[in-house]
């Protein structure tokens, strides 16, 4: 009797699984096709691209376009490739991500475990900050950066991204820490630990999934940002997104599709890498606290 039930269960599962995998496979194709076209185009020679086999694999694989994109592509009038701009983005994104994540964590901790009068108001204002469109803050931000002597510099961009990101990072951490029992903090207080000791030794370690979510979120936002980059930087100090735009949108000379594709992939790789490395924590972190463990 139970064997029959078991078999039926298996059969139903298999049918359901087939449908599920078919649908998922379709989505995967849909999402990967552009990436596939970009990749093969970047590996073709310009002549082959002109021959027109859009979806076909390259007849002879060449990394020339990648080398050119990295080393010698012309961004505006400078022909030094993307490498300088790539490092600009790294120098902007890493400190901005770390600082905003850390501040968000401390904010979330203070707002939930050391509640002070007006804590809710402050949180509400920070939340409000998440909904302010980029465009609105550009003018006042430009003025402020000018006054601080940070205009057109990478530290300036770091500051902009940190300030703009704090709303989100605080929200993430606050929502996690609110699920952590207050007794944990009380126990640590009785044990003799102070504000920062409790944060570093207990609350930050247990919020690792939230840290990962926040880092992915912030890294994606900051690395991919174009508007702040184009507004608050100039010349050789621009992030890679702006440089990519300047390569692809140059209206003089021959349109080098393989170069454009290689440059676009280079610009997108770091975020891809972050998702691949930390992706499994991402879903786990997003759902943390929603299910009682």
Partner 1 sequence: MASLEIRALTKKFGDVTVLDHIGLVIQDGEFLVLVGPSGCGKSTLLNIIAGLESETCGEILIDGRAVNDVHPKDRDIAMVFQSYALYPNMTVRKNITFGLKVRNTPGPKIEEMLAAVSDLLKIGSLLDRKPAQLSGGQRQRVAMGRALVRDPSIFLFDEPLSNLDAKLRVEMRTEIKKLHHRLGTTIVYVTHDQTEAMNLATRIAVLHQGRIQQLGAPQHLYDHPDNLFVAGFIGSPAMNLLPGSLSSSDGGLYFRPGDGEDLIRVDHYPFREAPADGAPVVFGIRPECVTLPREVEGQARFEVELVAEAVETNGFDKHVAFAYGASELIGRLPAKAGLVAGQPMRVGFDLSGISIFDRRSERRL
Interface with partner 1 (CB under 8 A):
181, 183-184, 186-193, 197, 201-202, 205-206
Give whichever of 6 and 186 is closer to partner 1, judged by the CB atom.
Answer: 186
Rounded to the nearest whole angstrom, what is the least distance from the CB of residue 174 to partner 1 in the complex?
19
Give whichever of 102 and 184 is closer to partner 1, judged by the CB atom.
Answer: 184
Residue 203: how many other CB atoms lie within 10 Å: 22
Which H helix or E strand runs over 270? helix 257-287
Give whichever of 72 and 197 is closer to partner 1, judged by the CB atom.
Answer: 197
Rounded to the nearest whole angstrom, what is the least distance from the CB of residue 209 to partner 1 in the complex?
12
Give whichever of 251 and 290 is closer to partner 1, judged by the CB atom.
Answer: 290
Q: Is the Cα dihedral 224, 226, 229, 232 positive or negative?
A: negative
**Rounded distance between C-alpha atoms, residue 192 and residue 3, angstroms:** 59
Give whichever of 196 and 227 is closer to partner 1, judged by the CB atom.
Answer: 196
- List, in order, residues 6 or more apart from 7 with CB less than 8 Å away: none
Structure tokens at 74: 């012309």
- Which SS3 state, helix, strand or coil, does residue 78 take? strand
Alpha helices in 43-130 (DSSP H): 46-51, 64-71, 83-113, 119-130
Rounded to the nearest whole angstrom, what is the least distance from the CB of residue 186 to partner 1 in the complex?
5
Rounded to the nearest whole angstrom, what is the least distance from the CB of residue 193 to partner 1 in the complex?
5
Give whichever of 125 and 187 is closer to partner 1, judged by the CB atom.
Answer: 187
Rounded to the nearest whole angstrom, what is the least distance from the CB of residue 201 to partner 1 in the complex?
7
Cβ contact 293:103 at 8 Å: no
> Which one, of 129, 95, 126, 94, lies nearest residue 108 by Cα?
126
Rounded to the nearest whole angstrom, what is the least distance from the CB of residue 180 to partner 1 in the complex?
9
């Amino acid at each position: 009797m139970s064997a029959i039930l078991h078999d039926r269960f298996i059969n139903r599962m298999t049918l359901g699984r087939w449908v599920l995998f078919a649908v998922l496979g379709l989505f995967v194709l849909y999402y990967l096709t552009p990436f596939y076209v970009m990749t093969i185009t970047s590996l073709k020679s310009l002549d082959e691209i002109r021959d027109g086999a859009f979806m076909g694999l390259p007849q002879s694989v060449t990394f020339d376009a990648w080398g050119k994109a990295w080393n010698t592509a012309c961004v505006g009038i400078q022909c030094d490739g993307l490498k300088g701009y790539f490092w600009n983005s790294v120098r902007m994104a890493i400190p901005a991500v770390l600082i905003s994540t850390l501040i968000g964590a401390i904010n979330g901790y203070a707002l939930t475990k050391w509640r002070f009068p007006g804590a809710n108001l402050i949180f509400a204002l920070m939340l409000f900050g998440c909904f302010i469109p980029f465009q609105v803050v550009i003018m006042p931000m430009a003025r402020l950066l000018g006054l601080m002597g940070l205009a057109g510099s990478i530290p300036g961009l770091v500051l902009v991204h940190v300030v703009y990101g704090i709303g989100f990072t605080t929200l993430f951490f606050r929502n996690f820490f609110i699920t952590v029992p207050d007794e944990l903090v009380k126990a640590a207080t009785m044990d003799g630990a102070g504000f920062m000791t409790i944060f570093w030794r207990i609350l930050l370690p247990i919020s690792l999934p939230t840290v990962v979510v926040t880092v992915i979120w912030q890294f994606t936002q900051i690395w991919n940002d174009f508007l702040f980059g184009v507004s608050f930087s100039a010349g050789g100090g621009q992030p890679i997104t702006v440089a990519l735009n300047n390569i692809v949108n140059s209206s003089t000379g021959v349109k080098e599709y393989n170069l454009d594709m290689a440059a676009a992939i280079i610009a997108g790789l770091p975020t891809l890498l972050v998702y691949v490395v930390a992706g499994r924590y991402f879903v786990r972190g997003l759902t943390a606290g929603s299910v009682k463990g």
